[in-house]
Copies of this chain bind each other. A is one copy, B any other.
Amino acid sequence: MITGKNHIGFQRSASGDNVFSTLNPKLNIENPIKFHEASAEEIDQAVELAWKAFQSYQNYSGERKGEFLNAIADEIEALGTDLIETYSAESGLPEGRAMGERGRTMFQLRSFADLVKRGDWVDAHIDTAQPERTPLPKSDIRKMMIPLGPVVVFGASNFPLAYSTAGGDTAAALAAGCPVIVKSHPMHAGTGELVASAIIKAAEKTGMPEGVFSNLNSSGIEVGVQLVQHPKVKAVGFTGSIRGGRALYDLAAKREEPIPVFAEMGSVNPVVFLPGVLEESGSDLAQTYAGSVTLGVGQFCTNPGLLLGIKDHNLNSFIASLADEIVKIEPGCMLHPNIIGAYEANKSKAIGQEGLQVVAEYDMEVGVNVARQAVTTVDGATFLKNPTLHQEVFGPFTMVVQCNDKEQLEAIILALEGQLTGTLLARKDEAASYPGVIEALKNRVGRIIYNGVPTGVEVCPSMVHGGPYPASTDSRFTAVGINAIKRWVRPFSYQDWPNELLPEALKNENPLGIVRLVNNELTSDSL
Q: Contact residues of A with B, CB < 8 Å?
A: 55, 125-127, 136, 138-139, 141-143, 146, 148-149, 249-250, 253, 257-258, 260, 417-418, 431-432, 438-439, 442-443, 446-452, 456, 458, 460-464, 466, 468-470, 473-478, 483, 486-487, 489-498, 500-501, 515, 517, 520, 522
> Which B residues are in CB contact (< 8 Å) with A249?
253, 258
Say which residue of B143, B468, B498 sits within 8 Å of A463 (CB atoms). Answer: B143
CB-defined A-B contacts under 8 Å, sample of 13: A138-B458, A141-B463, A148-B476, A149-B443, A250-B253, A448-B492, A448-B495, A450-B494, A461-B517, A464-B491, A466-B491, A476-B489, A522-B522
| Contact in complex: A495, B447 (CB < 8 Å) | yes
A474 to B257, alpha carbons, bound, how many Å? 10
Say which residue of B125, B462, B475 sits within 8 Å of A142 (CB atoms). Answer: B462
A500 to B430, alpha carbons, bound, how many Å? 12
Taking A143-B461, A257-B417 as known contacts, 16 extra A-B pairs with beta carbons closer than 8 A to each other, sorted by chain A number, are A127-B460, A127-B462, A139-B456, A141-B458, A258-B473, A446-B492, A447-B492, A447-B494, A448-B497, A450-B495, A450-B501, A464-B493, A475-B490, A476-B489, A478-B491, A483-B491
Instruction: Determine how close the nearest CB of chain B comes to the CB of A179; give it in whole angstroms.
Output: 14
> Which B residues are in CB contact (< 8 Å) with A142?
462
A136 to B125, alpha carbons, bound, how many Å? 38
> Which B residues are in CB contact (< 8 Å) with A447?
492-495
A468 to B469, alpha carbons, bound, how many Å? 24
A517 to B495, alpha carbons, bound, how many Å? 29
| Contact in complex: B501, A431 (CB < 8 Å) | yes
Task: Kindly name the residue among A141, A418, A442, A487 whose own CB sees the greatest number of chain B CB atoms within 10 A.
Answer: A141
| Contact in complex: A450, B496 (CB < 8 Å) | yes
| Contact in complex: B456, A127 (CB < 8 Å) | no
A448 to B494, alpha carbons, bound, how many Å? 5
Instruction: Determine how close the nearest CB of chain B comes to the CB of A181; give it in whole angstroms.
Output: 18
A148 to B253, alpha carbons, bound, how many Å? 21
A141 to B482, alpha carbons, bound, how many Å? 14
| Contact in complex: B438, A493 (CB < 8 Å) | no
| Contact in complex: A260, B462 (CB < 8 Å) | no
Instruction: Determine how close the nearest CB of chain B comes to the CB of A17; give it in whole angstroms.
Output: 35
| Contact in complex: A490, B141 (CB < 8 Å) | no
Instruction: Determine how close the nearest CB of chain B comes to the CB of A332; give it in whole angstroms.
Output: 20
> Which B residues are in CB contact (< 8 Å) with A458?
127, 138-139, 141
| Contact in complex: A476, B260 (CB < 8 Å) | yes
| Contact in complex: A462, B493 (CB < 8 Å) | yes
Q: In the complex, which residue of chain B has the Cβ closest to the Cβ of A435?
A: B501
A339 to B191, alpha carbons, bound, how many Å? 59
Number of copies: 2
Q: In the complex, which residue of chain B has the Cβ closest to the Cβ of A255?
A: B469
In order of increasing CB-CB distance, the 9 nearest A-B pairs are: A253-B253, A447-B493, A464-B493, A143-B462, A141-B462, A125-B462, A449-B495, A475-B490, A127-B460
> Which B residues are in CB contact (< 8 Å) with A125?
461-462, 483
> Which B residues are in CB contact (< 8 Å) with A443?
149
Instruction: Determine how close the nearest CB of chain B comes to the CB of A476; give it in whole angstroms.
Output: 5
A407 to B39, alpha carbons, bound, how many Å? 33
> Which B residues are in CB contact (< 8 Å) with A143?
461-464, 483
| Contact in complex: B496, A452 (CB < 8 Å) | yes
| Contact in complex: A495, B452 (CB < 8 Å) | yes
Q: A139-B452, A253-B250, A474-B260 are in contact. Are A438 and B495 (CB under 8 A)?
A: no
| Contact in complex: A448, B493 (CB < 8 Å) | yes
> Which B residues are in CB contact (< 8 Å) with A55?
439
| Contact in complex: B469, A257 (CB < 8 Å) | yes
A470 to B138, alpha carbons, bound, how many Å? 28
A418 to B257, alpha carbons, bound, how many Å? 9
> Which B residues are in CB contact (< 8 Å) with A136?
456
Instruction: Determine how close the nearest CB of chain B comes to the CB of A374; give it in whole angstroms.
Output: 27
Q: In the complex, which residue of chain B has the Cβ closest to the Cβ of A517?
A: B461
A520 to B481, alpha carbons, bound, how many Å? 12
A173 to B478, alpha carbons, bound, how many Å? 21
> Which B residues are in CB contact (< 8 Å) with A520?
461
| Contact in complex: B258, A460 (CB < 8 Å) | no
Instruction: Determine how close the nearest CB of chain B comes to the CB of A244; give it in whole angstroms.
Output: 15
| Contact in complex: A476, B469 (CB < 8 Å) | no
> Which B residues are in CB contact (< 8 Å) with A470?
257
Q: In the complex, which residue of chain B has the Cβ closest to the Cβ of A55?
A: B439
